[in-house]
Chain A
Amino acid sequence: MSLSYVSLLDLAVVVVMVTAALTLWRQSLAAAVKALAVQGVGLAAVAVILGAHRHDLVLVGVGGLVLVIKAVAAPWLIGRVVAHDHAAREASPLINVPASLVGAGVLTLLAFAATRDVVALVGTPAGRLIPFGVAIVLIGFFSMVVRRRAVSQIVGLLTIDNGIALTAFLGTSGVPLVVELGVTLDVLLAVVVLQVLVAQLQRHFNVHDLDQLRDLHD
């Protein structure tokens, strides 16, 4: 039981990690959104597995909430934007894909190095996976820096958020529900707002590439 719990948990976390890497890897925006959906599923799985392991129904419920919001609602919202976009590709990121992936690797190593104390403090099988959460945060951040498309940045932002959620799930015995609800709601609202903004930018000002948005500067 415990072995399968650990391996299931490992599997779910690896899914989240790999999808995070995928968002950096694939140039197609549609693919990135799909990866995000899968990531949401993975995250939900982590919550459910942990909840089941700790007999914490609230956590299982949170998993469900995550599934709905992050695996379904958010990707759907972003997907709508992508669908309207004719050339939905990240054609030329600021740093090319191989270099980005190397960068992501370095950041992952950094995450492992940086979270040694946290891992040591937590000391549970789940806790040992915390570095992945931090790594995902870094990768998401990194993709926001190097990707030119608005949608890519939204994906990156959600990736960061997922990374933090992962860290929270793994590191604590469950965040209070009210907090979790609030956080999730915030994320959803943020995605809605971002989606509306992207739509407006595309429709009214024909802005697709974020580097077109450089009117405000000193």
Chain B
Amino acid sequence: MTPSIGGGVASALQLLWVLLAGPLALGLMRKVRSRLEGREGASVLQPLRDLRKLSTKQRTRPTDSTWVFAAAPVVLVASAVVAAAFSPLVTLSALLATRVDFVAILFVLLLGSVSLLLGALDTGTAFAGMGASRAAMVGAMVEPALLVAILAMSLGVGTSNLSRLVGVGVTTSTLAGPARILALVSFFIAILAETGRLPVDNPATHLELTMIHEAMVLEYAGPDLALVTLGESARLVLLLGLFANLALPWGIALGTGALALVGGLLAVSIKVGLVAVAVSVFEVTTAKIRLFRIPELLAGAFLLGVLSVISAVALR
């Protein structure tokens, strides 16, 4: 399939969607959390206001930093939007949908993670180093779970192409085999860890020593900070969107017709919204686990992935 105009529109739509839905999802999650804590909480639109304000502020850099520090937020956002543009979020027929697979999306996202780690180390502060170290560890633990989960899902279909993985649920109704359910649970845990949500990391902490992800971005200010937040939230909705579409593919557009796209957009927004609310509820009811218990959690996710692979092979 050659790149088409429709695909291009769809990709652009998805790209813009993650940029917009990301902050909104953050706002939604904070809102839900506030309400569950008995607070009124900030508006769902608050993250967008924050971003707007940040974009008007001054940029800063630590004394001895290099271009890496400045480049990291840019690469983070770029990797997230590129990944989003080619993923089946709104439609199965986005640009390059047949030529980019799950693994590729994962590694594109990894580019963002790595650039953020390097940006943190470039600050030359103890906190950022600590954050990078912890984030790298969590990332290293997440990757096996993620890849095995992808392998498990791919096995049943015979390819790791994401559109096919999602599409097989739309076209046939043989969606929820045990292999796929196990893989999705594993994938979900991995997403929580990868995006720095509870119980792995507390995105709202103020105490540097308990931070993982926040510690890395302590040095960013103004537009750079806006980019970091934007990038992070885009990754979050991208991964939640993928999870939602893999778990409940219905509603996703098959082609690139205008109506289908609008339908797909609505569908994915609703699905991601639901998942975000669910994540938020889950977060309120659980405490952050100790740093060195995280591997146990992720080992559990990995085990689920392996079980999933074995059941996929056994039930074939």
> Direct contact between A and B in the complex (CB less than 8 angstroms)?
no
B: residues with CB less than 8 A from A are none
